[in-house]
Amino acid sequence: KNEVEQSPQNLTAQEGEFITINCSYSVGISALHWLQQHPGGGIVSLFMLSSGKKKHGRLIATINIQEKHSSLHITASHPRDSAVYICAVLSGAGGTSYGKLTFGQGTILTVHP
Amino acid sequence: DAGVTQSPTHLIKTRGQQVTLRCSPISGHKSVSWYQQVLGQGPQFIFQYYEKEERGRGNFPDRFSARQFPNYSSELNVNALLLGDSALYLCASSLRFLDRSKYLLFFGSGTQLSVL
């Protein structure tokens, strides 16, 4: 079992729909990143969370540390939101260890007009 | 300000050859990390460097090595290339090392390596 699991793997939506992408992890973490990757490889960091909830425009990210679960929500989805969304967790940090990022496999989102 | 820049953007090598990939972080960023992304999968952590020292290493063989220079740019070297090394290699920079959870990561566009 992977340390970071995302669901769904593929998601198709109509423009305007509310979208949720889930991320579950099995290790203790100090932070969780949500990333967006467009075709061609470029990755943009959307959020970094260690607790609670963050909002940026139409994007909302939440994390529940006790349940080891995070969600990324997109309100009023648009075709330009079509991309791969990746969850990554920072674990193993502390003392002299600088930790490492472990990535989920990504969720391919396609939003149709 | 320029973002994270990687060179080259594409590279074709044959099995057994050696390759060097380059990364320039955002100005002022002292931490650089490297990731391998095989087609259809999420990235995998290779190395993290901070202040010119290796601060973390993923589960990659010794054929993979890296270094960080005084100007904080970094090189990733892969020796004795295998077909399975074909992947997108991503570099990311951050202000400090990754365990300071308030620092965002900024990624380059990657180097697409094809091993024939």
DSSP string for residues in B74-98? EEEEE-S--GGG-EEEEEEEESS-T
DSSP 3-state percent helix, strand, coil across chain B (nearest 5): 5, 50, 50
Banded model confidence at residue A101, pLDDT cuts 50, 70, 90: confident
Who among A41, A45, A98 is closest to B105 (CB)?
Answer: A45
With an 8 Å Cβ cutoff, is B88 touching chain A? yes
pLDDT above 90 (res A99): no
User: Which residues lie below 8 Å from residue A43, measured CB to CB, with a gap of 6+?
Assistant: A35, A36, A37, A86, B43, B90, B92, B107
Q: With CB atoms and an 8 Å threshold, state whether B98 touches A100.
A: yes
A88: helix, coil or strand? strand
Cα nearest neighbour of B43 on chain A: A103
Decide which of A72 and B98 is more confident: A72
With an 8 Å Cβ cutoff, is A28 touching chain B? no
Contact A101, A89 (CB under 8 A): yes
Whole-number Å distance between alpha carbons of B42 and A2: 11
Cα nearest neighbour of A95 on chain B: B99
pLDDT above 90 (res A91): no
Q: How far off is chain A from B33, nearest CA to CA, in Å?
A: 10
Q: Residues 8..27 of B with a Cβ closer than 8 Å to A: which? A: none
Banded model confidence at residue A28, pLDDT cuts 50, 70, 90: confident
